[in-house]
Amino acid sequence: MPFVRLVMDDQRVIRSWFTEISDDNRSLISYFPSDLPQAGWLEFGYGAKVLGRAQARFDSSAVTQLDKKRVPKETLGVTVAFLRKKLGESEPADGHV
């Protein structure tokens, strides 16, 4: 299974929910929680194996997010905190993701 993940430091990593590979195998489209960190490194791979890291650092201002005005009001925005609560995990005291 392909993946993309955002690495902020040695302890903070956000993995995509799922990743699509383009038909020509030249690009990836990944889906993440709506509360992305400001910056980090993008890594990609298959299964549990990281195959590479993007040369440029990730910047959240370059991400295209859904236009919330066009999303039905009953749609639930999924954040890291929401996922932790659903999975029964506690929030780290230091604010790490």
Beta bridge partners of 46: 2, 49
- Determine contact, residues 41/56, Cβ cutoff 8 Å: no
CA distance 51 to 53: 7
Q: Please, which pLDDT band fits residue 91 given cuts at 50, 70 and 90?
A: low
Q: Is pTM, for the whole model, over 0.95?
A: no
Structural domain count, the chain: 1
Residue type, 54: A
**pLDDT tens digit sequence for 42-69:** 999 999 899 999 888 888 888 777 788 8
Looking at the domain assignment, is residue 94 inside a domain?
no
DSSP-assigned letter for residue 97? -
pLDDT at 22: 92
In a domain, 91, yes or no: no
How big is the CA angle at 46 (ends 40 and 52), to the nearest 5 degrees? 45
Question: Residue 89 domain-assigned?
Answer: no
Q: For residue 13, is it within any domain?
A: yes
- The domain containing residue 33 runs over which residues? 2-64
Q: Does residue 83 lie in a domain region?
A: no
